[in-house]
Amino acid sequence: MTDKHSHDDSSLNPFPIKKLDDLISPFLVPPGQRISLAKDYDPAYKAHYLKKSEAESELQKGIEALAKYQDMLYAQDTYALLIIFQAMDAAGKDSTIKHVMSGINPQGCQVHSFKVPAGEELDHDYLWRCSRALPERGEIGIFNRSNYEEILVTRVHPEILEQRQIPPNLIDKHIWQRRYEEINNFEKYLTSNGTIILKFFLNVSKEEQRKRFLERIELPEKNWKFSVNDARERTFWPDYMVAYEEMFNHTSTEWAPWYVIPADHKWFTRLVVAGIIYAQLKALNLNYPKVSEAKHQELLQAKEMLESQK
Ligand code: ATP
Ligand code: MG
């Protein structure tokens, strides 16, 4: 009884990588600095790991370590964690979410996939549908794509904006700058209210994407994942890279940083994403709620009662 009364850190598994900060820090987009996506971030990077098997047991233990922290996040019911994934097609968003969250209690976690907006979504401002899907305190919310599409796909295909019901005088050359500021302010507001935000860009190379598309065509069980439009969209690759780079340079902030994660080796992507989430949760100094002395006495009474009952 008494040892449960106050929380003891020894029940937490550590992440199985000693210098976790050294592994994850190269992927942070430093707020306030301009980065070059092509020069500063290599999609094929895999640190000192030579092959998948070397990282696998670390990932498994890392997932277990994450699960413990999620349990505390949920019990403490104070912070919400929002994790945003953005990427080109076939970069591995779905499988990263599936693997990294595999140890997580579904009760405290929700995944939202944002597709082309439709119906009611189009009748609102562009942050509306995302704000409705935000995680509650104690929860982890995962956005598979997000409001960032509004400065990515819409920037690459500006005709999308014209098809929306936005007042035409609001579509001018400053719209992207305004949207960066709107998103930064929105995220600032959320973090000032207890939502922690992590943003991951899974950085796959154009060649690796081509291989994965071909695999989706060749393997019948992967056919459903491919649409001809994916191959068409690929021809806009350079435009997307510009849009992403601009996005990093304007929206990686102290309060909601972007991480550019190498994504040509899926196992490495998963290890790094798990490591960053773990480091973030650890930094929150989470605790199981401590019960008051009065409540503690009540528990002792209930214990006595149960022990004397048949
Ligand atoms: P996969 O990587 O498996 O293809 P996905 O996330 O691309 O998964 P899809 O159903 O293929 O899922 O695509 C969702 C599509 O919705 C993307 O092409 C994306 O650009 C588009 N989309 C999402 N949000 C918006 C938005 N706000 N405006 C316009 N298009 C959007
Ligand atoms: Mg797609």
Instruction: Tell me how far the alpha carbon of residue 114 lies from the centroid of ligand 1, in angstroms.
Output: 7
User: How far apart, in whole angstroms, are the C-alpha atoms of residue 110 and residue 72?
Assistant: 17
Supply 93's token pair.
């968003």
User: How far apart, in whole angstroms, are the C-alpha atoms of residue 302 and residue 308?
Assistant: 10
Rg (CA), the chain: 22
pLDDT tens by residue, 86-101: 999 999 999 999 999 9
Question: What is the DSSP code (8-state) at residue 291?
Answer: P
Q: Which residue in this structure is represented by tokens 């449960």?
A: 4
Question: What is the DSSP code (8-state) at residue 86?
Answer: E
Residue with CA nearest ligand 1 atom 17 = 115
Q: How confident is the model at residue 11 (pLDDT cuts 50, 70, 90)?
A: low
Q: Max Cα separation, the chain?
A: 76
pTM of the model: 0.94
Structural domains in the chain?
2-302 (3.40.50.300)
Supply 129's token pair.
């549908």
List, in sequence order, every residue forming a beta bridge with 109; answer none if it has no partner. Answer: 140
Q: Which residue in this structure is represented by tokens 């001018």?
A: 172
Instruction: Tell me how far the alpha carbon of residue 149 lies from the centroid of ligand 2, in angstroms.
Output: 12
Q: Atom of ligand 1 at shortest distance to CA of 89?
A: 2
What does pLDDT average to over the chain? 94
pLDDT tens by residue, 80-135: 999 999 999 999 999 999 999 999 999 999 999 999 999 999 999 999 999 999 99
Which one-letter amino acid corresponds to residue 147? N
Instruction: Tell me how far the alpha carbon of residue 239 lies from the centroid of ligand 2, in angstroms.
Output: 17
pLDDT tens by residue, 250-292: 999 999 999 999 999 999 999 999 999 999 999 999 999 999 9
Beta strands in 51-160 (DSSP E): 80-87, 109-113, 140-144
Residue with CA nearest ligand 1 atom 20 = 153
Which one-letter amino acid corresponds to residue 277? I
Q: Atom of ligand 1 at shortest distance to CA of 227?
A: 11
pLDDT tens by residue, 137-159: 999 999 999 999 999 999 999 99
